Amino acid sequence: MITIWHNPRCSKSRQAVALLEEKGVEIDIFKYLQEPLTAAMLSSLLSKLGISARELMRTKETLYAELALETADDAQLIAAMVAHPRLIERPIIIKENRAVIGRPLEKVNDLLA
């Protein structure tokens, strides 16, 4: 089973869902903007992605600057993403203990291989 952290309003996220469906993959869609997030969930996701909290963030979002996150540590960044999930990059595709941010879409194919 593949889990996708999905934002239906995002074209890249919709493309990732379409790619997974085209490949006949069983998908669990997690609408992270609507479902509650926890710091533990994000920490686990970061471990699977193998990246820092800042690398998971949409640093060009106006909210990022408004919250003055430029000098925040990982714990503060994770707390900000829990409180404001729109700061999270998308889409995120998870397969077992590995995950990728599906930009570009080729990364999704790499995860499935």
User: 3 catalytic, yes or no?
Assistant: no
**Cβ contacts of residue 93 below 8 Å, gap of 6+?**
2, 3, 4, 5, 16, 20, 99, 100, 102, 107, 108, 111
Catalytic residue selected from 6, 7, 8, 10: 10
Task: Tell me which amino acid residue 53 is.
Answer: A
Active site residues per annotation: 10
